[in-house]
Amino acid sequence: MSFLGIDLGTSFIKGAVLNLDTRQLEHIRRAPFPEPMVTADPLRCEYDPLELTSAVRTMIDELAPHAPDCEGVVMCAQMHGMVLMDDRREAVSNCVTWRDQRALAPHPSGSGSYFDVILARTSPELRRQLGNELDPARPVCFLFWFAEQEKLASGLTPASLPDFVLSKLCGSDPGVESTNASASGAFNLETSEWHYGLIQELGLDRLRWPPLRKQGQVAGYLKVGSNSVPCYAPVGDAQAALAGALLSMDELSLNIATGAQVSRLRDELSLGDYQTRPFFGGKFLNTLSYPPAGRALNLLIGLLTEFASAQNVELPDPWTYIAQAAGETSDTDLDVDLNFFSAPDGARGHVANIRADDLTVGHVFRAAFRNMADSYYQCALRLWPDKSWKNLLLSGGLACKLDALRGTIQKRFGTGYRLTPFAEDTLFGLLILASVFSGKAKSVEEIASELRTREVKASV
């Protein structure tokens, strides 16, 4: 039995044949995510929705010959993407993604930004009901901007990016599953319904909000080769990646790549001073999403390579030297604070306590790794105050390739860790979901436990 898995990521669209019998990814493909449309407004980030649909169709057509027995399609996508659709299932807006910051533009009332106005109209309790997912980069904020600009016609449907794509490919009406619905910033976790109080308060009740779908519900049928196969309701990529990393209830997840997330899996809804997101099988994720990671480190790299860049000298891989230099620096009292962007620990960083012998790449990045580990630890205390986790799960490109970073994290937490067992953990998460949706496994938890056991035996 095989499925096709499609991941609409931020940088790439990835696909693979999901072999449910051997539990292997086969014929992995990747294509660059289309470039954003040119705009004079630096706050906006939009994509041609039909170009995205065509790119997914091309990926499916490339994989189809390798899956003549394909029995279904599962999909995930970068969270927070949105397309407005009319009642003929046509796009009437471009795709607006999480990179869009138009909600930070000044509101015509003079009361700050559009986002400031949204915050003034919502209470802390309401924002907790949203899982603290109210953020300038959320679809509900884009929609408020459209509404205030009188560019929001009645009866339009705000579709998530993957649900728009499936609607166009399958010729079916858009719906949305909870992991993507919660990413909109308008989903009430306490009722598992749209937050109609918020929707009315922001003047968005003129829209036709898509029906909520259950996990594993068929969203439409699609031609794959000569077969018409079911396409299942798309899910959030963050949840798919953690499913593919085989996260367990007693593990603390640290996903460290361009961005970072510290997450804890819970059996029941627990709202607090963190983000809360639906997971699979009735579980929830408590998450903090903004501790420093690769984005902040890239600023340091940009500073250190500025002279070379100014002379058109390209350094193809600075990370190899960084890993070596940081690994050879056992410790440092250099002080590097990476909170250059808005983060749980603030929005101002620094490099301090500099001496003549420690302003080197090794010392700078060793100190940066220590700051990252400290930040992750503080996030962990907010998510798990009694510190009863038994293990760390490390995933993401930086965590997997930087030994010095892992060692610093292990020292700060004083506990063991394991790396995600699969390089393509998001696609592997889709394989796990396909196994559940097809009936080959009872639950995500069951198959993850089985695969963890298999990995342990293989490592012995």
CB distance 203 to 423 below 8 Å: no
CB distance 342 to 104 below 8 Å: no
Q: pLDDT (tens digit, 9 = 90+) per residue, 355-368?
A: 999 999 999 999 99
Domain boundaries, the chain: 2-236, 247-420
Token match 């930004």: residue? 113
**Assigned fold of 247-420:** Nucleotidyltransferase; domain 5 (3.30.420)
Are the folds of 2-236 and 247-420 the same?
Answer: yes
How far is residue 424's CA from residue 120's CA, in Å, rounded to a whole number? 41
Torsion (CA) 193, 79, 270, 127 in degrees, nearest 10: -70
Q: pLDDT (tens digit, 9 = 90+) per residue, 434-459?
A: 999 999 999 999 999 888 887 766 65
How far is residue 435's CA from residue 179's CA, in Å, rounded to a whole number? 18
The mean per-residue pLDDT over the stretch 276-290 comes to: 95
CB distance 365 to 322 below 8 Å: yes
Confidence (pLDDT) at 460: 46
The mean per-residue pLDDT over the stretch 202-212 comes to: 97
pTM of the model: 0.92
CB distance 78 to 179 below 8 Å: no
How far is residue 406's CA from residue 394's CA, in Å, rounded to a whole number? 8
CB distance 376 to 289 below 8 Å: no
Q: Looking at the predicted structure, is the pLDDT value of residue 129 above 90?
A: yes
Task: Enter the tokens of residue 372.
Answer: 């990252």
Q: Looking at the predicted structure, is the pLDDT value of residue 344 above 80?
A: no
Tell me the CB-side half-sphere exposure of residue 54, using CA atoms within 13 A: 6
Q: Where are the alpha helices (DSSP H) in 151-274?
A: 161-170, 178-181, 196-201, 237-244
Please give the DSSP secondary-structure letter assigned to residue 91.
B
Mention every residue, 6+ apart, whose C-beta is less than 8 A from residue 63.
4, 15, 16, 17, 27, 29
Query: What is the CATH superfamily name and number for domain 2-236?
Result: ATPase, nucleotide binding domain (3.30.420.40)
Please give the DSSP secondary-structure letter assigned to residue 65.
G
CB distance 3 to 72 below 8 Å: yes
